[in-house]
Amino acid sequence: MALTNEIIQQKLTEKFGDQVGNFQESFGMLTFEAPKEQNLKVLQFLYDDETLQFTFLTDLCAVHYPDDKGRELAMVYTVHNLKANIRLRFKVFTDIQTPDIFTASKLFEAANWMERETYDFYGVNFVGHPNLKRIMNVDEMDYFPLRKEFPLEDQTRIDKDDEMFGRG
Amino acid sequence: MSDVQHHHIKLPEGSIEKQTTTLNLGPTHPATHGVFQNIIELDGERIVSAEQTVGYIHRAFEKIAERRPLYQITTLTDRLNYCSSPINNMGWHMTCEKLLQVKTPKRVDYLRVIIMELARITDHLICNSIVGVDSGAYTGFLYVMQYRELAYEIYEEVCGSRLTTNMGRIGGFERNFTNAAFEKLEKFLAEFPNVWKEFENLFSRNRIFMERLIGTGAISAERALNYGFTGPNLRAAGVDYDVRVHQPYSSYEDFDFVVPVGNTGDNYDRFLVRGKEVWESLSIINQAYQKVQAFKGAEAEVYHADVPEYYLPEKKDVYTKMEALIWHFKIIMGEIEMPKGEVYHSVEGANGELGFYLISDGGRAPYRLHFRRPSFIYYQAYSELTKDAMLSDAIMTMSSLNLIAGELDG
């Protein structure tokens, strides 16, 4: 029997009960969330279960929602079952004061750099990561630039001497 | 005298006792488009460990995209893998189309397929010929380059630019393909196969070349999957995952083609898989061109979907038609708002699955846009691939992985 979003949802609810929730289907891809302490357990279950077999980590990134107090940072995992050819999106939310999330790099080597990138830009602290340091920005940087509190430069500013680049 | 000189030289602690040599491979000059740095520990010529440093040309595309309307993001995607930017452009437009629920006509799909496969060919021919260059054979590189030039002339006919193409629109193309574009395409289809045949004759069974490549930089299918490999690098390890087949976009399901796979995942298999994919791409272009020619009458003039609210109208219409002027103004000023939603769309880029994760909160610009950049994901396997290898093999491994710094850094 082909693996469908309904079966995935049923399997997850059987295993985790109330812990998993907010199931949604967006453009055909099932999305759900779990508490952040459960992230590894859920990923491991998705990986190991014989019918689910989500053994390929396609993508991992963070999203910042500054207005959602206590759930400011979302970690989004996109996993893929290559045999049944079905994708799944899994989210965990964390507050921004203690953005500790267990690393998935033990399960997926691919997560290593993706988590470093997420740490670099959003400051998510991946507990247990073998080498959690900045990857794109300089090591001395002391802020996380993709968070929403850092706006892009005002395009109408006039105080800057930028003649060489066509402004000013 | 010599005592005095020694007094001035301060060596780092432990450097006399140390049995290995540290070598900084790179960073190369930023103008070379690929600023790679590898800090390599060498025992003689053998690599003990390699640590990669990336980020030298990071341009914060994901941040910039959070303020830009959709069409201004196309130019950012150009600069990811700039050896095949049309694939990135169309991947991005298809992501928008998915969110905006725009359905494209078949002719647009086939024209896109032609351009995307041309881009794949140009990318693979660069990669394979660079593998040749790095092993000491420059001729092949120069020889195939004239056909990349011809492919770029086709892009030029279609969109006006060559490397960073910024090609297409949401819903299709900015203009219909000209006759000159089709003539050049015919020339390409007629001449390039012979050139590629010659190129392969020069390398594939060349004993010196084979001995440099076979068995170096190998990775098993299991490890490759765990490392998130996609595209030719994964297929060389024996996994037949191809987004064009698994999750067809732009009517790839209408085409008949083979997904070449290797089995050892080494440099040689990567070379062969890319070589074979070029043949498949040529076959796809031929099929697509036939399908395009089969359209008659009004259908043969269709080059975009009828979605005035998202399709940036042609300039001559903007100057002469009220309707077009209004839409042009609204799109350029960013007054067109996207529906809310989150969408992941991926295309088979020339070096793997290029994914776009777009979250829209209903505004004019994305709330969050994340690029899944295949180069970035598989470059982390480089230290495993080169462990215990000779330094010269590590160079071959780097070129056969087809690392593009633009995509690495994002």
Q: Which two tokens stand for residue A21?
A: 């929730």
CB contact under 8 A, B379 and A114: no
Backbone angles phi, psi at B136, to 5 degrees: 100, 10
Mean pLDDT of chain B: 92
- The pLDDT of residue B29 is 76
Interface residue ranges in chain A relative to chain B, Cβ cutoff 8 Å: 26-27, 29, 31, 55-59, 61, 63-64, 76, 78, 82, 85, 87, 89, 108-110, 112-114, 117, 121, 135-137, 145-146, 150, 152
- B123 closest CA partner among B268, B354, B278, B257: B278
Contact list, A152 vs chain B (CB under 8 Å): 63-64, 66-67
Residue B90 pLDDT exceeds 80 = yes
Contact list, B372 vs chain A (CB under 8 Å): 58-59, 78
SS3 A11: helix
Residue B323 forms contact with A (CB below 8 Å):
no
Choose the mutation target among A27, A47, A64, A134 for the interface with B, i.e. most B CBs under 10 Å: A27
A91-134: pLDDT as tens digits: 999 999 999 999 999 999 999 999 999 999 999 999 999 999 99
Q: In what side-by-side order are the strands of the sheet with B46-53?
A: B21-25, B37-43, B46-53
Q: How far is A13 from chain B (nearest CA, A)?
A: 23
Q: Which of B223, B241, B368 is closest, CB to CB, to A82?
A: B241
Q: Which two tokens stand for residue A128?
A: 């247990």
CATH of segment(s) B63-308+335-409: 1.10.645.10
Residue B379 forms contact with A (CB below 8 Å):
yes
d(C-alpha B178, C-alpha B175), whole Å = 8
CB contact under 8 A, A136 and B357: no
Confidence of residue B5 (pLDDT cuts 50, 70, 90): low
Contact list, B381 vs chain A (CB under 8 Å): 109
CB contact under 8 A, A87 and B344: yes
- Sketch the domain layout of chain B as residue ranges: 63-308+335-409
Choose the mutation target among B73, B96, B226 for the interface with A, i.e. most A CBs under 10 Å: B226
CB contact under 8 A, A61 and B357: yes
Confidence of residue B1 (pLDDT cuts 50, 70, 90): very low
CB contact under 8 A, B344 and A146: no
d(C-alpha B403, C-alpha B385), whole Å = 14
CB contact under 8 A, B342 and A26: yes
Contact list, B97 vs chain A (CB under 8 Å): none
Q: Which of B343, B359, B372 is closest, CB to CB, to A63?
A: B359
**Interface contacts (A, B; CB < 8 Å):** 83
SS3 A152: coil
B336-360: pLDDT as tens digits: 889 999 999 999 999 999 999 999 9
- The pLDDT of residue B11 is 79
Identify the bridge partners of residue A56 per DSSP, sorted by sequence position.
A80
Residue A151 DSSP one-character state: P
Q: How far is B119 from chain A (nearest CA, A)?
A: 23
- B257 closest CA partner among B117, B144, B88: B117
Q: How far is CA B360 from its chain centroid?
A: 25
Q: How far is A15 from chain B (nearest CA, A)?
A: 25
Q: How far is CA B99 from CA B103, B122, B148, B343, in A?
A: 11, 30, 33, 6
- The pLDDT of residue B375 is 94
Contact list, A74 vs chain B (CB under 8 Å): none
Backbone angles phi, psi at A86, to 5 degrees: -140, 140
Residue A168 pLDDT exceeds 80 = no
CB contact under 8 A, B376 and A113: yes
Q: What percent of chain B has pLDDT over 70?
A: 97
CATH topology of domain A16-139: Beta Polymerase; domain 2 (3.30.460)
A145-160: pLDDT as tens digits: 999 999 887 777 777 7
Q: How far is B291 from chain A (nearest CA, A)?
A: 28
Residue B372 forms contact with A (CB below 8 Å):
yes
Q: How far is B63 from chain A (nearest CA, A)?
A: 6
CB contact under 8 A, A109 and B377: no
Q: How far is CA B9 from CA A151, B12, B18, B374, in A?
A: 49, 10, 17, 45
CA-nearest residue to A61 within chain B is: B370
Residue B39 forms contact with A (CB below 8 Å):
no
What mean pLDDT is predicted for residues A59-84?
A: 95
CB contact under 8 A, B54 and A31: no
B123-145: pLDDT as tens digits: 999 999 999 999 999 999 999 99
d(C-alpha A166, C-alpha A160), whole Å = 12
Q: Is the dihedral of CA A35, A37, A38, A44 positive or negative?
A: positive
B10-63: pLDDT as tens digits: 778 887 888 899 999 888 777 666 788 899 999 999 999 999 999 888 999 999
d(C-alpha B150, C-alpha A164), whole Å = 34
